[in-house]
Chain A
């Protein structure tokens, strides 16, 4: 026991200490403070608050608006992710086949990522404006629509419009990453498959897919978290409206914390969100681990 204590190297711990402190302050502290506040009546501008146990969780889990926001978030995530992967993946496969000017296409595709979200949101708001917007007026002038389509206020169009914008925004990121993965596949494998008479689909299924599935899997994990937590695009374009049709869980939590200033309740929502996303991550990473094991 004495020998073990002697072997313990304090020096390396002291050098690691600053990094540990920063990680603690920036990551662990917010999580634990949220966990603590979620069990209190903490109000944004009132200094005094009480410990109330799990009452905030009970209030949130019995609020129909929370579940409406939760299901909106699920649909938002599934539709956006599916669209982003389909468009991003297809674009990557197409650009990978391009012989000349690949860099130009790639640059053009990632333009949405070059702009701050506020610029993108306000630009789309302007393009889709129901009175003077470019797109509604163009559709009327071309005779496609009889009246100005209301992309951001019609209850049957507003959510689909936001999902379209999110797909447009997120697909390039998938494209760039998948393209990078595609470029690591040895060409001789395709040549050997062609000699053996493999069809394009067989080459894709037996060569391309196994090489890129781990990258795609990781992208799905990251994009799921980002899309589920996405706040700015929806908030800046519709603010969660009209009639809460586009209110997702992050917007619900924001309204709770910054609108009604009930930080305790808002923290309970964010803790529930964290638990849900951790659960999703566990499922994804289990699948990814299985794929990696299969590859070995």
Chain B
């Protein structure tokens, strides 16, 4: 009997130890020290995958930990698509970071899921008037700000000066001129412009949005329904189908953002649309080509149409509701906005990341950057576009619908159906509009 009892107890202990091992939470639960000194571990997810930005953030974290010896910051880096999967799945299991970067469309979903905390205290501390009102409004719900814009950029048209000069062409100011130039430059292994519509990215939505915004329209109606069948949107679809057929590599039907940009970086396309990140991409891939690239505002439908901007991105930082140490997160964010750290961070991708707080772009430290000096015209064009634009669909204010418009690949599949299966433009547009409206209905 005793032997049996010992065996039973051993079995229970073994089962218990396995269950404990399976169920343990490795996250250290620490508290603030009695003297008010910051104390605890935080995890920071960001999407600064390129070396220079990664290093600056790590350096800032190291400096912060040096000044706060009881704080430990673990940094994890993900590309934007991975980041989206990571936080949406993590939210269900409670496996989200303490703080992270985000995209404005994600912030809307995060606010809707009550996953992030208000940032008003920190915004006021840094100076609310230093931030652009429209950038702050992208993370605002019921008068409370849930995100802080870290940097800004906007979409403009990039072209190859040498190719245009050789062909005796001017920088296009209208879409018609653009199409004409792109067709003329499609020769000798160069494509006029790649039209990307891979369904894993939002590139076709972005390109269609350029055209629709240039005509003063929107891909969403005022009551936040999909607006793909308006005359303007149909014209836009036909325009890009024409560009694909005449100026684009056929593989671009599957392209995501990096595939698209790489073609331009390698000198295989004459035109592309991007922010100032295009400069660092070309510099890294084809340094000899840097002097031959230039940017201009997005083309208009008619030359005398008003100036516009189709897409501004204010990349923000957020602090997660699950965080046990929001005070550490906010203190670290404040550190990132300190002038020296902030300028060093922006200089990691000069002209790619424009300051989200006023006063920085006028400082000597910012302006002395070699790339900023070289591309000062581009910087001014992009800065003007930043001021005039919003994220795609945010012209009606932040909404879940705008996020879904970008994230579901519906417009990309619509273009694929037209280009691959030869579907009629009106039919494909109607199907895409219905699909989007059904998604909007479900989410509500």
Q: B109–A45 contact, CB under 8 A?
A: yes
Q: A241–B416 contact, CB under 8 A?
A: yes
Q: B200–A45 contact, CB under 8 A?
A: no
Q: B92–A241 contact, CB under 8 A?
A: no
**CA of A132 to CA of B191 in the docked complex: distance in angstroms?**
12
Q: B15–A14 contact, CB under 8 A?
A: yes
Q: A240–B15 contact, CB under 8 A?
A: no
- Shortest Cβ distance from residue B80 to the other chain A in the assembled complex, whole angstroms: 15
How many A residues have CB within 8 A of the partner chain? 35
Residues 1-22 of chain B: 1 if any A CB is under 8 Å from the residue's CB, otherwise 0?
0001001100110110011001
**CA of A14 to CA of B89 in the docked complex: distance in angstroms?**
35
CB contacts (< 8 Å) of A11 on chain B: these are: 4, 7-8, 11
Q: A241–B253 contact, CB under 8 A?
A: yes
A21 interface residue, CB < 8 Å from B? yes
Q: A44–B198 contact, CB under 8 A?
A: no
CB contacts (< 8 Å) of B14 on chain A: these are: 15, 18
Residues 129-146 of chain A: 1 if any B CB is under 8 Å from the residue's CB, otherwise 0?
111100000000000000
Known: A153-B250, A239-B254. Is A260-B439 also a contact (CB below 8 A)? yes
Known: A25-B22, A131-B268, A242-B420. Is A259-B115 also a contact (CB below 8 A)? no
CB contacts (< 8 Å) of B268 on chain A: these are: 131-132
Residues 118-162 of chain A: 1 if any B CB is under 8 Å from the residue's CB, otherwise 0?
000000000001111000000000000000001011110000000
- Shortest Cβ distance from residue B434 to the other chain A in the assembled complex, whole angstroms: 13
Known: A150-B251, A154-B250. Is A239-B15 also a contact (CB below 8 A)? no
A46 interface residue, CB < 8 Å from B? yes
Q: B251–A21 contact, CB under 8 A?
A: no
Q: Tally inter-chain residue pairs, CB-CB below 8 A.
A: 100
Q: How large is the interface on B (under 10, 10 to 19, 20 to 34, 35 or more residues)?
A: 35 or more
**CA of A10 to CA of B442 in the docked complex: distance in angstroms?**
51
- Shortest Cβ distance from residue B325 to the other chain A in the assembled complex, whole angstroms: 23
CB contacts (< 8 Å) of A150 on chain B: these are: 250-251
CB contacts (< 8 Å) of A130 on chain B: these are: 249-251
**In the complex, what residue of chain B is closest to A151 when comparing beta carbons?**
B251
CB contacts (< 8 Å) of B412 on chain A: these are: 241
**In the complex, what residue of chain B is closest to A237 when comparing beta carbons?**
B254
Residues 3-20 of chain A: 1 if any B CB is under 8 Å from the residue's CB, otherwise 0?
000000011001101100
CB contacts (< 8 Å) of B409 on chain A: these are: 259
Residues 236-279 of chain B: 1 if any A CB is under 8 Å from the residue's CB, otherwise 0?
00000000000001111110000000010010100000000000
User: Which of B8, B92, B191, B417 contacts A45, CB < 8 Å?
Assistant: B92
- Shortest Cβ distance from residue A22 to the other chain B in the assembled complex, whole angstroms: 7
- Shortest Cβ distance from residue A270 to the other chain B in the assembled complex, whole angstroms: 15
- Shortest Cβ distance from residue B93 to the other chain A in the assembled complex, whole angstroms: 11
**Could you jot down 25 A-B contacts, CB within 8 Å?**
A11-B7, A14-B15, A15-B14, A21-B19, A22-B18, A22-B22, A44-B88, A45-B109, A46-B113, A131-B191, A131-B249, A131-B263, A131-B268, A153-B250, A153-B253, A153-B420, A154-B250, A155-B421, A239-B198, A241-B198, A241-B253, A242-B416, A243-B413, A259-B409, A260-B442
Besides A131-B251, A244-B416, A260-B408, 5 more A-B contacts (Cβ < 8 Å) are A17-B15, A21-B19, A44-B89, A152-B251, A244-B413
Q: Which 8 A-B pairs have the closest CB atoms?
A: A130-B251, A14-B11, A243-B416, A243-B420, A242-B416, A239-B200, A150-B250, A242-B420
